[in-house]
Structure 1
Amino acid sequence: MRIAVLRGPERFEVDDVPVPRIRPDEVLVRVAASGVCASELEPWVDGPSTGEPRYPGHEVSGVVVETGAEVTDLDVGVRVGVWVTERGFAEYVAVRAAYCFPAGDGSLDEALAEPLSCVVNAVELADPRLGDDVVVIGAGFMGNLVQQLVALRGPRQLIVADTRPEALERASRLGATRVVDVTRESLPDVVRSLTDGGGADLTFECTGTQAALTSCGETTRMSGKVAIVGFHQGPSREIPLAYWNWMAFTILNAHFRDPAVIMRGMEVGMRLVSSGVLSMHGLVTHRFGLEDINEAFATLRGKPEGFVKAVIAFPDE
């Protein structure tokens, strides 16, 4: 089978290796799509820190083609979203059956269970309440999913901010009550005008940038909540901690490393997608073959107009 190997700065190579053998509690999945995640962008740019080859890829969907002797709840042919921590940019992955969740009948490249888990857990941690005023800073892939899940909680205002007109148009189509182009309008002023002067009850930061983090403190009301969803790579970030202390913000780190929490988020996310309650339709905008994986990462970095999410797509056999 073919697998992408990161061997240097901005240098994936494709190797031929044996198909992995599965353990009794595992299944073999023929990969349909593997998402290109922003958390892997910096490692791609810098290359392996130790000089040893690395095997990224963790946002996988596909079809079960073999089951281990101890697996009783998955059959060959089942379409699944799965969680792996590496080696996801490959034609096949071996994965514990417990880390696989039915994907329903929709497009498999729109059934990426791992990012769904991230947003499910982020929204449940932040716990928006009925009638809350909520701000989502960042209308990219993760911001779009956060926005849709927050909408299920019944907010009064659901305000989405970004710098890209096409991203804001998409947020409007997804049901934002107000969108804000921060290159043209003051987000804090708009939020105050819509919240009786008080500010947002809850702000989600979904960009991983300093500017968005700063804006959180300017848009959230006293004793409100700030949920950090964006993956912050590169230089250290700064916040005016004295002001944030005075404002008594609840700061929520919406990143999770406990496998049990990740699994529950995946189960919930895949239930929502497979039942049609949550839609990822149209959010995967760029598809690349495995041989073009470096171009896929360059596209993620450049974010051309219309970009939301890239995947490495594998043709059906």
Structure 2
Amino acid sequence: MRIAVLTGPERFEIAEVPPPEIAPDEVLVRVRACGVCTSELPAWRGEPAAEYPRHLGHEVSGTVAAVGADVTSFAPGDPVGVWVTSHGFAEYVAAKAAHCRPAGDVPLDEALAEPLACAVNAVEEADVRLGDDVVLIGAGFMGNLVQKLVRLRGVRHLVVADTRPDALQRARELGATRVVDVRGESLAEVVGELTGGRGADVTFECTGGQAALDAVGDVTRMSGKIVLVGFHQGGPRSINLAYWNWMAFAIVNAHYRDVDVIMRGMTVGMRLLASGVLSLDTLVTHRFPLDEIDAAFRAARDKPAGFVKATVTVD
């Protein structure tokens, strides 16, 4: 089978290797798509100094090709969303059956169960309630997923802030009650006007950047919730902790390493997808064949106009 191997900074090579063998509790999945995650960009760039070769890819969807001796939950041919920790940019991947979820009739290149689980867990941990005022900073792929899920909670105001006109237009189309281009408009003033000076009940930070951390405290009400969805990599970040203490913010770190939590998020997310309550049809915008995986990563880095999510597809 073919597999993409990261052999150096910004350089994948396609290798021919035998398909992986599966354990009794595993399934062999014929990969249809694997999403490019922002968290993988530093490794692709070689930051920090990385060891090579490396096998990236954890947002997998595909069909079951074979099952281990102890597996009764799936059969060959079943479409699935899959969570693995690596080796996803390949024609086949081995995964524990317990880490797969049925995809039903969802287009397989949109059945990205792992990132959907992250968004589901973030919204559930934040406990967004009926009638809440919500601010979302960052209208990329994860921000869009969070926005879609927050709307299902029946909020009053859903304010989305970003710097990219195309991202803000997409947020409008996804149901934002107000969008804010922070390059020319004050997010704090907009939120203050909409909430009578009270501030947002819940603010989601979905960028992973310092600028969003600087803004969240200015738009969240006293004893409101700040939800850290963005993946903060690189150097240390700073916050005005004295002010955050005074405001008694509840801080939700929406990053989960407990496998049971990840699996529950996948279960909920794939139920929503398979039932048609949720769709990713407008969010997977850039698809690349396995041989062009470097182009997929460049698109994720450069974010050309209209970009939301890149996937590597395997025919």
Q: Tell whether the structures are fold-level matches, with TM greater than 0.5.
A: yes
TM-score, normalization: structure 1?
Answer: 0.97
In structure 2, C-alpha distance between the alignment counterparts of 1:81 and 1:177, rounded to whole Å = 32
SS of residue matched to 1:149: helix
1:10-25 residue pairs with structure 2 within 5 A? 10-25=10-25
The aligned residue for residue 64 of structure 2 is 64
Preserved contact between residue 9 and residue 48 of structure 1 (Cα < 8 Å): no
Percentage identity across paired residues of the two chains: 68
**Alpha-carbon distance in 1 for matches of 2:90, 2:221:** 46
Structure 2 counterpart of 1:270, which letter?
M
**Is the Cα contact below 8 Å between 1:6 and 1:47 reproduced in 2?**
no
Distance in 2 (alpha carbons) for counterparts of 1:223 and 1:301: 36
| Cα distance in 2, alignment partners of residues 85 and 276 from structure 1 | 27
1:58-92 CA distance string (max 9 Å, x none): 00000001111111111111100000001001100
| Partner SS state of residue 4, structure 2 | strand
For residues 217 and 48 of structure 1, do their structure 2 counterparts lie closer, same or farther at Cα, with a shift above 3 Å needed? closer
How far apart, CA to CA, are the structure 2 residues paired with 1:278 and 1:195? 28
TM-score (norm. length: structure 2): 0.98
How far apart, in 2, do the equivalents of 1:124 and 1:29 lie? 29
Alignment partner, residue 304 of structure 1? 304
The residue that corresponds to 2:141 in the other structure is 141
Q: State the AA in 2 paired with 1:43.
A: A
* Unaligned runs of at least 5 residues, structure 1: none
| Contact 2:161–2:182 (Cα < 8 Å) also in 1 | yes
* Other structure's SS at 1:73 match: coil
What secondary structure does 1:18 align onto? coil
What are the superposed Cα offsets for residues 225-257 of structure 1, whole Å, 9 maximum, x if unpaired?
000001112221111111111111111100000
Provide the residue aligned with 1:167 in structure 2: 167
The 10-residue stretch of structure 1 (277-286 or 49-58) with the greater mean CA deviation from structure 2: 49-58
Contact 1:32/1:63 (8 A) holds in 2: yes
The residue number in structure 2 matching 1:266 is 266
Matched position secondary structure for 2:150: helix
Unaligned runs of 5+ in 2: none
Find the counterpart in structure 2 of residue 44 from structure 1. 44
Contact 1:6 1:48 (C-alpha < 8 Å) held by counterparts: no
Tell me, in whole angstroms, the C-alpha distance in 1 between the residues paired with 2:91 and 2:231. 27
Structure 1 residue 49: Cα displacement: 3.8
Q: 1:50 to 1:141 in 2, by over 3 A?
A: closer
Match of 1:129 in 2: 129
Matched pairs, number: 315
> In structure 2, what is the Cα distance between the partners aligned to 1:245 and 1:41?
33
* Distance (Å, rounded) in 2 between the aligned partners of 1:271 and 1:222: 35
Cα offsets for 1:108-139 (capped at 9, x unmatched)? 11110000110000001111111110001111
- Distance (whole Å) between structure 2 residues aligned to residue 49 and residue 258 of structure 1: 27
The CA distance in 2 between the partners of 1:145 and 1:204, in whole Å, is 12
Q: Does 1:286 align with 2:286?
A: yes
Q: Once superposed, what is the RMSD of the aligned Cα atoms? A: 1.0
- Matched ranges for 1:47-126 at <5 A: 49-126=49-126
* Secondary structure of the structure 1 residue equivalent to 2:27: strand
